[in-house]
Structure 1
Amino acid sequence: MTVHDPIRADAAVKRVAIADDAAMLRAAAELSREFAVANPRIYWPDLLASALIGYAALAGAILASNVALALVCGLVAMLALYRAASFIHELTHIRKDALPGFRLGWNLLVGIPLMIPSFMYEEVHTQHHARTRYGTANDPEYLPLALMKPWSLPLFILIASLAPVGLILRYGVLAPLSIFVPALRRKVVAEFSALSINPAYRRRPPEGAFRRRWLWQEAGASLFALALIGSVFAFGWKPLLVYMAVHSAMTVINQLRTLVAHLWENEGDAMTVTAQYLDSVNVPPPSPLAAIWAPVGLRYHALHHLLPSVPYHALGKAHARLIAALGEESPYHRGNYAGMWPLVGKIARSTMVRR
């Protein structure tokens, strides 16, 4: 397997000018039909085990009197809950009838306790996959980070570390107040109800059945946020601070993963599917740690842009099939990278180029 070298000083390619590769798209379409079925016998045990381990370790971190043990438990809790939380990405792509009860179960087990209910990603992430939206100003999940100032990258990570504070404010303060203040409600819906990285993105009010799902999920997260605030009076500061530390670390590692999910080199024009693929990143085996920092299939992010309907457990097989079927000249091989830190370095160097 060929792994693209991110350190190589290639001349920047204007992604929008890249034509679609018919052979790659045809091979991907055939695999999409073959691997499109989500297997509940994989989804449910994975989610339940991740949540159980995560909450047990979180309890251990809160109850431990030994600092070293508390840190170990906190690390385990962060990684397990990060994996459990990553299933929100799957929820946006699986068919409604594919995994009965999974969306409800995920929200009760993970979305509400972490204050990231699925409505914050549903009908948002799919816009990132829209053919004419990807990489444009209308993409909620895209910023041309490689073309921005060097300080933008540490700021990108720093903002993520403050996520639990922002979520407690959003659900424990703003959501209840917005019930009585219509103008605040409009602002909360438009600006504080999406897991997006584009600060210019504004969300439309929900409608129909989705609105009903939104409201009960938001109510659940608000009650949980209020319970967190109230826990200080019942149990002191330690449980809340440990929860926030684990949540913050989880969000930071996800933000680092987001940072290397794309090359972020598009300047706002609509792109071909092949150009979108080449602006995205796979970190396939043998990278030893990618399954930890990019769990639930997220290590195959570029492939996911070719096969958005393929469940996470089939992406490895689809990747191996494409590697074997497509020759070295195929652009598919140029979407594969060796690891996180070379990619961080590549993007950081790009921000330092005078434009």
Structure 2
Amino acid sequence: MTDVAIDRTRLRLLSPHELRPLTDRSDRHGGLRLAVHVGLIAAGAALVAAGRGTWAVVPAMVLHGWFLVALFAPVHECVHYTAFRTRRLNDWVGWLAAVPSLLNFHFYKHFHYAHHRYCQDPARDPELTPPAPQSVGEYLRRLTAINYWRARLAVADRVLRGDFAAFPFVPDRARAEVRRSMAAMLALAAAVAIGWAALDPWGPVLYWIGPVLLAQPILRAILLAEHTLCAENGDTLANTRTTLAAWPVRLVHWNMPYHTEHHLYPSIPFHALPAAHARLRPHLVHVARGYAPTHRAILRGLAAR
């Protein structure tokens, strides 16, 4: 991490009076957004069904897959316990929503807390393992999600064996819970795949595995834009990027593109992030008008090396 002195008072941009209404969690808001998301997944599945046996099934699978991989957004909210007011709803919805991408909720919770605590610190931020792409080839490989799937398998293998040496961010007291959660997740995923295949041999491929593989690069591109080319220090205003994404992206990703606002105030739930952005916008260092400008800048930098 770059050795710079951070004026922490500069990051206290909202007074307690301003912050209090923005941090109100809501089962109603969470339930409505979850219902919309489930409806989009159902609509995507219907398009896949309508396209079976034709080439139209491929774009339908990509769209359906986008809705599936975007379940990462409610997982992310549930990890912060901001998707719902009821704590148990956050735990159950977050755990189930993570299964389609084989992302274990309990493991990710500790991973993500460490990311917030040490954001953009190359030595301690687990999101920088592996580090940001250093070549065009690494960039393209990152977008294919090959690294993601290898990491998911490696993490599952180590956790099931009780080997947490590579995961110091998981405290000793939580390791048994993470191990049980991982085993349950894999058992559920296997049971669903096997049972589904028994009823419809192509079902898991067309409606789950194929769409998730095809669309995971969309999520990789979104996540790569959150911190790449930002400062490697503890200044949240400088080490994180907000992206002014189109409203469908904000809808499907639960306002996650307002990422600097989230890092500044993780207690603000997804439905209040637009209001937080309106107040914080003058202070933000990195604000991109869509994801394309950020990725063009990344590629220009990599091509110039």
Fold in common (TM above 0.5)? yes
Q: Tell me if structure 2 keeps the 8 A contact 1:16–1:266.
A: no
Q: Which entry has the higher C-alpha Rg, 1 or 2?
A: 1
Query: Relative contact order (alpha carbons < 8 A, sep ≥ 6): 1 or 2 greater?
Result: 1
- Aligned residue identity for 1:335: H
Give the Cα separation in 1 of the matches to 2:37 and 2:82. Answer: 23
Instruction: Establish whether residue 54 from structure 1 lines up as the match of residue 41 from structure 2.
Output: yes
Instruction: Establish whether residue 258 from structure 1 lines up as the match of residue 218 from structure 2.
Output: no
- In the alignment, what sits opposite 1:283? 243
State which of 201, 204, 208 in structure 2 corresponds to 1:236. 201
Give the Cα separation in 1 of the matches to 2:15 and 2:224. Answer: 27
TM-score, with structure 1 as normaliser = 0.71
The alpha-carbon deviation at position 227 of structure 1 amounts to 4.0
Other structure's SS at 2:162 match: helix
State which of 235, 246, 258 in structure 1 corresponds to 2:211. 246
The 1:51–1:117 alpha-carbon spacing in structure 2 relative to 1, beyond 3 Å, is: farther
Q: What is the alpha-carbon root mean square deviation over aligned residues?
A: 3.6
Instruction: Establish whether residue 302 from structure 1 lines up as the match of residue 260 from structure 2.
Output: yes
The 1:55–1:213 alpha-carbon spacing in structure 2 relative to 1, beyond 3 Å, is: farther
Structure with the largest fraction of helix: 2
Q: Tell me if structure 2 keeps the 8 A contact 1:260–1:281.
A: yes
Instruction: Map 1:1-355; keep pairs closer than 5 Å.
Output: 16-17=3-4, 19-20=6-7, 22=9, 24-30=10-16, 31-55=18-42, 57-58=44-45, 60-62=47-49, 64-67=51-54, 69-71=56-58, 73-94=60-81, 98-107=85-94, 109-130=96-117, 132=118, 134-142=120-128, 144-145=131-132, 148-160=134-146, 163=149, 174=157, 185-187=161-163, 189=164, 204=170, 207=173, 211-212=176-177, 215-216=180-181, 218-229=183-194, 231-232=196-197, 235-237=200-202, 239-266=204-231, 271-273=233-235, 276-284=236-244, 287=246, 290-291=249-250, 295-323=253-281, 326=282, 332-354=283-305
The alpha-carbon deviation at position 136 of structure 1 amounts to 2.5
Other structure's SS at 1:336 match: strand
Give the Cα separation in 2 of the matches to 1:109 and 1:69. Answer: 29
Give the Cα separation in 2 of the matches to 1:306 and 1:317. Answer: 14
Give the Cα separation in 2 of the matches to 1:291 and 1:32. Answer: 22
In structure 1, stretches of 5+ residues that fail to align are: 1-13, 180-184, 192-200, 327-331
TM-score, with structure 2 as normaliser = 0.81
Q: Deviations over 1:55-113 (max 9, x none)?
A: 45336525743525534542442233234331111122226993243234414642334
The alpha-carbon deviation at position 349 of structure 1 amounts to 1.9
Q: Tell me if structure 1 keeps the 8 A contact 2:107–2:178.
A: no
The 1:280–1:153 alpha-carbon spacing in structure 2 relative to 1, beyond 3 Å, is: same
- Aligned residue identity for 1:27: L
Give the Cα separation in 2 of the matches to 1:238 and 1:257. Answer: 28
Q: Deviations over 1:211-248 (max 9, x none)?
A: 44751463143232254256546532453254212112
Give the Cα separation in 2 of the matches to 1:311 and 1:76. Answer: 26
The 1:55–1:114 alpha-carbon spacing in structure 2 relative to 1, beyond 3 Å, is: farther
Q: Deviations over 1:160-186 (max 9, x none)?
A: 4873x8758976xx59xx87xxxxx03
In structure 2, stretches of 5+ residues that fail to align are: none
Give the Cα separation in 2 of the matches to 1:265 and 1:320. Answer: 21
Q: Tell me if structure 2 keeps the 8 A contact 1:282–1:335.
A: yes
- In the alignment, what sits opposite 1:10? none
Identity of aligned residues (%): 19
Q: Deviations over 1:25-46 (max 9, x none)?
A: 2323544334111111110121
The alpha-carbon deviation at position 315 of structure 1 amounts to 0.9
The alpha-carbon deviation at position 303 of structure 1 amounts to 1.6
Q: Tell me if structure 2 keeps the 8 A contact 1:51–1:109.
A: no
The alpha-carbon deviation at position 307 of structure 1 amounts to 1.1
Q: Tell me if structure 2 keeps the 8 A contact 1:160–1:251.
A: no
Give the Cα separation in 1 of the matches to 2:165 and 2:241. Answer: 30
